[in-house]
């Protein structure tokens, strides 16, 4: 009986993860509220990885700011805190805006998007399906070039020209024959958007056969995100009713901005 128990316990429960991402995840998951600091030995015991492997990975994670040295060993680094703050910000935006966006999508039959600006790209936080959803291959978590999307241009137009210019350097090539490919013309477009109180329009600039209207969501004057409505357009169909859609989007953006204003200290 004793021999059987020893033999059974000697059988490994599972092989250690082979990929670097899985090993890094094991190390990050080893930390918790009760043990915010761990030694090399503690990390090896909690992860089940060889100490030499943990030490090698720790050096890389410290260099990349996932972890940091502390007198008692290692702790989570600033990169984890930064990403956690971004996740909280995005969750609050989605919590407030998503119901409004879905209702607007249902009323118009168009695809709604909620997005934030990240350098030269926009990150899609929410997508609300409409009748044209199959023709518009966007997804939550997807990234799109800011210069040829309505949401991106709506957000770029809220920045100082110098800051917007920094966001437009390199990699701003055309997506379709309708994309703006000249930096001077792009700045003219941003000026036109400012003159329209933030309303941005994409007429087949990102995808052929797809049009879009967008407006920024402001909280205490600061643009937190942008929302849009997209639909299919072609030579046989009239363009999107920009005025009507801009009015509906602006109403939703105003309502969302009022709801987000008290939380803005956490969103910035």
Q: Per-residue DSSP letters for 138-158?
A: --TT-EEEGGGSHHHHHHHTT
Domains of the chain by start residue, with CATH: 11-76 (1.10.10.10), 84-267 (3.30.450.40)
Distance of CA 6 to the CA centre of its chain: 51
Q: Kindly report, residue by residue over 1-60, the tens digit of the pLDDT.
A: 333 333 333 333 455 677 899 999 999 989 987 888 999 999 999 999 999 999 999 999
Q: Per-residue DSSP letters for 158-212?
A: TS-HHHHHHHTSS----SSTTS---HHHHHHHHHHHHHTTT-EEEESSSSTTEEE
- CB neighbours (10 Å) of residue 78? 11
Only one residue has tokens 């049009």, namely: 211
Q: Kindly report, residue by residue over 164-210, the tens digit of the pLDDT.
A: 776 666 445 668 888 888 888 888 999 999 999 999 999 899 999 89
Q: What is the C-alpha radius of gyration for the chain, rounded to an integer number of angstroms?
A: 24
Distance, CA of 122 to CA of 128 (rounded, Å):
17
Distance, CA of 85 to CA of 112 (rounded, Å):
25
Identify the pLDDT of residue 167.
Answer: 62
Identify the pLDDT of residue 112.
Answer: 96
């Amino acid at each position: 009986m004793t021999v059987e128990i020893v033999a059974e316990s000697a059988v490994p429960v599972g092989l250690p993860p082979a990929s670097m991402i899985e090993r890094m995840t094991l190390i990050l998951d080893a930390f918790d509220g009760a043990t915010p600091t761990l030694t090399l030995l503690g990390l090896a015991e909690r992860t089940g990885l060889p100490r030499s492997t943990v030490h090698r990975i720790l050096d890389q994670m410290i260099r990349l700011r996932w972890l940091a040295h502390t007198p008692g060993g290692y702790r989570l680094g600033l990169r984890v805190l930064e990403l956690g703050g971004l996740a909280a910000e995005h969750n609050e935006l989605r919590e407030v805006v998503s119901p409004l966006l879905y209702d607007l999508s249902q009323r118009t039959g168009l695809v709604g998007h909620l997005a934030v600006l990240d350098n030269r790209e926009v990150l899609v936080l929410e997508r609300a399906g409409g009748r044209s959803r199959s023709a518009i291959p966007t997804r939550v978590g997807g990234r799109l070039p800011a210069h040829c999307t309505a949401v991106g241009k709506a957000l770029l137009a809220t920045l100082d020209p110098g800051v917007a210019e920094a966001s437009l350097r390199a990699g701003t090539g055309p997506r379709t024959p309708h994309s703006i490919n000249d930096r001077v013309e792009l700045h003219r477009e941003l000026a036109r958007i400012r003159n329209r109180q933030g309303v941005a329009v994409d007429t087949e600039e990102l995808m052929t056969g797809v049009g879009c209207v967008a407006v920024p969501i402001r909280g205490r004057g600061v643009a937190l995100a942008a929302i849009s409505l997209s639909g299919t357009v072609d030579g046989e169909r009239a363009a999107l009713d920009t005025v009507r859609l801009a009015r509906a989007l602006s109403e939703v953006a105003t309502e969302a901005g009022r709801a987000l204003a008290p939380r803005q200290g956490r969103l910035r």
